[in-house]
Structure 1
Amino acid sequence: MGSVGFSLSAVWNGSTALSPTALSIAAAGVLTCAPLFWSLPTAFLSGTATAAGLAMINSVGNLAGFVSPYMTGALKDATGSASIPMHVLAFSLVVGAAAVLTTKKHIVNR
Protein backbone atom coordinates (compact mmCIF):
# COMPACT_ATOMS: atom_id res chain seq x y z
CA MET A 1 0.00 0.00 0.00
CA GLY A 2 2.87 2.36 0.77
CA SER A 3 4.55 1.62 -2.53
CA VAL A 4 1.30 2.19 -4.42
CA GLY A 5 0.78 5.49 -2.62
CA PHE A 6 4.28 6.74 -3.45
CA SER A 7 3.90 5.68 -7.08
CA LEU A 8 0.52 7.39 -7.35
CA SER A 9 1.94 10.58 -5.84
CA ALA A 10 4.59 10.54 -8.57
CA VAL A 11 1.96 10.01 -11.27
CA TRP A 12 -0.36 12.67 -9.81
CA ASN A 13 2.51 15.10 -9.25
CA GLY A 14 0.67 18.07 -10.78
CA SER A 15 -2.61 17.65 -8.91
CA THR A 16 -3.04 19.58 -5.68
CA ALA A 17 -5.84 17.30 -4.47
CA LEU A 18 -4.68 13.88 -5.68
CA SER A 19 -1.01 14.07 -4.72
CA PRO A 20 -1.64 14.60 -0.97
CA THR A 21 -4.26 11.87 -1.10
CA ALA A 22 -1.68 9.49 -2.57
CA LEU A 23 0.85 10.52 0.09
CA SER A 24 -1.77 9.81 2.75
CA ILE A 25 -2.23 6.34 1.29
CA ALA A 26 1.55 5.87 1.33
CA ALA A 27 1.76 7.02 4.96
CA ALA A 28 -1.02 4.65 5.95
CA GLY A 29 0.78 1.76 4.28
CA VAL A 30 4.16 2.54 5.80
CA LEU A 31 2.95 3.33 9.31
CA THR A 32 0.76 0.24 9.63
CA CYS A 33 3.72 -2.01 8.87
CA ALA A 34 6.00 -0.56 11.55
CA PRO A 35 4.49 -2.42 14.53
CA LEU A 36 4.49 -5.67 12.55
CA PHE A 37 8.14 -5.19 11.62
CA TRP A 38 9.27 -4.81 15.24
CA SER A 39 8.06 -8.34 16.04
CA LEU A 40 10.52 -9.90 13.56
CA PRO A 41 13.82 -9.42 15.46
CA THR A 42 12.47 -11.18 18.53
CA ALA A 43 11.49 -14.12 16.31
CA PHE A 44 15.04 -14.45 14.96
CA LEU A 45 17.13 -13.47 17.94
CA SER A 46 17.17 -14.36 21.63
CA GLY A 47 18.72 -12.99 24.80
CA THR A 48 21.25 -10.20 24.48
CA ALA A 49 21.30 -10.61 20.71
CA THR A 50 17.72 -9.34 20.66
CA ALA A 51 18.71 -6.16 22.48
CA ALA A 52 21.69 -5.61 20.19
CA GLY A 53 19.59 -6.32 17.10
CA LEU A 54 16.85 -3.92 18.16
CA ALA A 55 19.45 -1.24 18.92
CA MET A 56 21.06 -1.70 15.50
CA ILE A 57 17.70 -1.55 13.74
CA ASN A 58 16.80 1.62 15.63
CA SER A 59 20.17 3.19 14.76
CA VAL A 60 19.85 2.38 11.07
CA GLY A 61 16.26 3.64 11.09
CA ASN A 62 17.30 6.93 12.66
CA LEU A 63 20.11 7.29 10.14
CA ALA A 64 17.65 6.62 7.31
CA GLY A 65 15.38 9.33 8.71
CA PHE A 66 18.29 11.74 8.33
CA VAL A 67 19.60 10.54 4.95
CA SER A 68 16.28 10.01 3.17
CA PRO A 69 15.23 13.68 2.91
CA TYR A 70 18.67 14.61 1.58
CA MET A 71 18.56 11.75 -0.93
CA THR A 72 15.11 12.83 -2.06
CA GLY A 73 16.26 16.42 -2.51
CA ALA A 74 19.43 15.39 -4.32
CA LEU A 75 17.48 13.18 -6.73
CA LYS A 76 15.00 15.97 -7.36
CA ASP A 77 17.81 18.44 -8.03
CA ALA A 78 19.68 15.99 -10.28
CA THR A 79 16.67 14.97 -12.34
CA GLY A 80 14.52 18.09 -12.14
CA SER A 81 11.52 15.96 -11.28
CA ALA A 82 9.83 15.09 -7.99
CA SER A 83 8.55 11.85 -9.51
CA ILE A 84 11.88 10.01 -9.52
CA PRO A 85 12.42 10.20 -5.72
CA MET A 86 8.88 8.92 -5.16
CA HIS A 87 9.54 5.96 -7.43
CA VAL A 88 12.81 5.26 -5.57
CA LEU A 89 10.89 5.25 -2.27
CA ALA A 90 8.26 2.96 -3.76
CA PHE A 91 10.95 0.60 -5.05
CA SER A 92 12.68 0.48 -1.66
CA LEU A 93 9.38 -0.49 -0.04
CA VAL A 94 8.90 -3.29 -2.58
CA VAL A 95 12.42 -4.58 -1.91
CA GLY A 96 11.80 -4.53 1.86
CA ALA A 97 8.47 -6.30 1.48
CA ALA A 98 10.06 -8.93 -0.75
CA ALA A 99 12.79 -9.50 1.84
CA VAL A 100 10.24 -10.05 4.59
CA LEU A 101 7.94 -12.20 2.45
CA THR A 102 10.76 -14.51 1.33
CA THR A 103 11.75 -15.29 4.92
CA LYS A 104 11.24 -18.96 5.66
CA LYS A 105 8.34 -19.74 7.98
CA HIS A 106 10.29 -22.18 10.11
CA ILE A 107 12.80 -19.44 11.00
CA VAL A 108 10.17 -16.99 12.17
CA ASN A 109 7.83 -19.51 13.85
CA ARG A 110 10.37 -21.28 16.02
Structure 2
Amino acid sequence: MGASVQSTSVDAEAMMKRGRIVWLKCRSCHEVDPGAPHKVGPNLHGMFDQPIASREGFTYSAAFEESDIIWTDETLDAFIERPTNYIRGTKMAFAGISKESDRTAVIAYLRKATQ
Protein backbone atom coordinates (compact mmCIF):
# COMPACT_ATOMS: atom_id res chain seq x y z
CA MET A 1 0.00 0.00 0.00
CA GLY A 2 2.88 2.37 0.72
CA ALA A 3 4.15 2.02 -2.84
CA SER A 4 0.74 3.01 -4.20
CA VAL A 5 0.70 6.17 -2.10
CA GLN A 6 4.27 6.90 -3.21
CA SER A 7 3.32 6.34 -6.86
CA THR A 8 0.28 8.62 -6.57
CA SER A 9 2.43 11.31 -4.96
CA VAL A 10 5.04 11.02 -7.72
CA ASP A 11 2.31 11.10 -10.39
CA ALA A 12 0.78 14.26 -8.88
CA GLU A 13 4.22 15.87 -8.66
CA ALA A 14 4.94 14.99 -12.30
CA MET A 15 1.55 16.37 -13.34
CA MET A 16 2.23 19.68 -11.57
CA LYS A 17 5.70 19.89 -13.10
CA ARG A 18 4.25 19.32 -16.58
CA GLY A 19 1.49 21.84 -15.86
CA ARG A 20 4.05 24.52 -14.92
CA ILE A 21 5.88 23.86 -18.19
CA VAL A 22 2.70 24.06 -20.27
CA TRP A 23 1.73 27.23 -18.36
CA LEU A 24 4.72 28.95 -19.99
CA LYS A 25 2.56 29.18 -23.13
CA CYS A 26 -0.01 31.20 -21.16
CA ARG A 27 1.95 33.41 -18.81
CA SER A 28 2.99 36.03 -21.33
CA CYS A 29 -0.69 37.06 -21.43
CA HIS A 30 -2.01 35.96 -18.01
CA GLU A 31 -1.10 36.23 -14.33
CA VAL A 32 -2.21 33.90 -11.53
CA ASP A 33 -1.03 35.68 -8.40
CA PRO A 34 -3.59 37.57 -6.31
CA GLY A 35 -3.45 41.29 -6.98
CA ALA A 36 -1.19 40.95 -10.04
CA PRO A 37 -2.22 43.24 -12.88
CA HIS A 38 -4.05 42.13 -15.97
CA LYS A 39 -1.92 41.73 -19.06
CA VAL A 40 -3.21 41.16 -22.59
CA GLY A 41 -5.48 38.64 -20.89
CA PRO A 42 -7.04 38.83 -17.44
CA ASN A 43 -5.44 37.73 -14.19
CA LEU A 44 -6.73 34.19 -13.61
CA HIS A 45 -6.52 34.16 -9.80
CA GLY A 46 -9.77 32.77 -8.39
CA MET A 47 -11.16 31.92 -11.83
CA PHE A 48 -12.62 28.47 -11.15
CA ASP A 49 -16.36 28.27 -10.59
CA GLN A 50 -16.70 31.90 -11.72
CA PRO A 51 -18.37 33.32 -14.84
CA ILE A 52 -16.08 33.48 -17.84
CA ALA A 53 -15.97 37.30 -18.01
CA SER A 54 -15.76 38.11 -14.31
CA ARG A 55 -12.36 39.71 -13.72
CA GLU A 56 -12.97 43.25 -12.57
CA GLY A 57 -11.00 45.87 -14.47
CA PHE A 58 -10.50 43.76 -17.59
CA THR A 59 -12.24 44.59 -20.87
CA TYR A 60 -13.58 41.41 -22.45
CA SER A 61 -14.71 40.82 -26.02
CA ALA A 62 -18.44 40.86 -26.70
CA ALA A 63 -18.27 37.08 -27.20
CA PHE A 64 -17.06 36.64 -23.61
CA GLU A 65 -19.44 39.25 -22.19
CA GLU A 66 -22.43 37.50 -23.80
CA SER A 67 -21.37 34.04 -22.60
CA ASP A 68 -22.95 32.32 -19.62
CA ILE A 69 -20.05 29.85 -19.27
CA ILE A 70 -18.66 29.11 -15.81
CA TRP A 71 -14.98 28.14 -15.58
CA THR A 72 -14.72 24.48 -14.61
CA ASP A 73 -12.14 21.85 -15.51
CA GLU A 74 -14.38 20.78 -18.39
CA THR A 75 -15.06 24.23 -19.82
CA LEU A 76 -11.42 25.27 -19.49
CA ASP A 77 -10.34 22.05 -21.20
CA ALA A 78 -12.67 22.69 -24.14
CA PHE A 79 -11.62 26.33 -24.32
CA ILE A 80 -7.85 25.85 -24.26
CA GLU A 81 -8.05 23.05 -26.81
CA ARG A 82 -9.06 25.62 -29.44
CA PRO A 83 -10.29 28.97 -28.04
CA THR A 84 -11.68 30.30 -31.33
CA ASN A 85 -13.82 27.18 -31.81
CA TYR A 86 -15.15 27.20 -28.25
CA ILE A 87 -16.09 30.89 -28.12
CA ARG A 88 -16.74 32.28 -31.56
CA GLY A 89 -15.67 35.91 -31.73
CA THR A 90 -13.03 35.77 -28.99
CA LYS A 91 -10.15 38.20 -29.41
CA MET A 92 -7.78 35.63 -27.88
CA ALA A 93 -5.12 34.90 -30.49
CA PHE A 94 -3.93 31.65 -28.88
CA ALA A 95 -4.06 28.62 -31.20
CA GLY A 96 -4.74 26.20 -28.37
CA ILE A 97 -3.25 23.10 -26.76
CA SER A 98 -4.08 20.02 -28.80
CA LYS A 99 -2.51 17.39 -26.55
CA GLU A 100 -5.05 16.21 -23.96
CA SER A 101 -2.41 15.30 -21.38
CA ASP A 102 -0.95 18.82 -21.59
CA ARG A 103 -4.40 20.36 -21.09
CA THR A 104 -5.02 18.09 -18.11
CA ALA A 105 -1.65 19.06 -16.61
CA VAL A 106 -2.08 22.81 -17.06
CA ILE A 107 -5.60 22.67 -15.61
CA ALA A 108 -4.27 20.81 -12.55
CA TYR A 109 -1.54 23.44 -12.22
CA LEU A 110 -4.05 26.29 -12.57
CA ARG A 111 -6.37 24.72 -10.00
CA LYS A 112 -3.56 25.03 -7.46
CA ALA A 113 -1.90 28.25 -8.69
CA THR A 114 -5.12 30.28 -8.85
CA GLN A 115 -6.49 29.43 -5.39
TM-score normalised per structure 2: 0.30
Larger helix share, 1 or 2: 1
- Larger Rg belongs to: 1
TM-score normalised per structure 1: 0.31
Larger relative contact order (Cα-Cα within 8 Å, sequence gap ≥ 6): 1
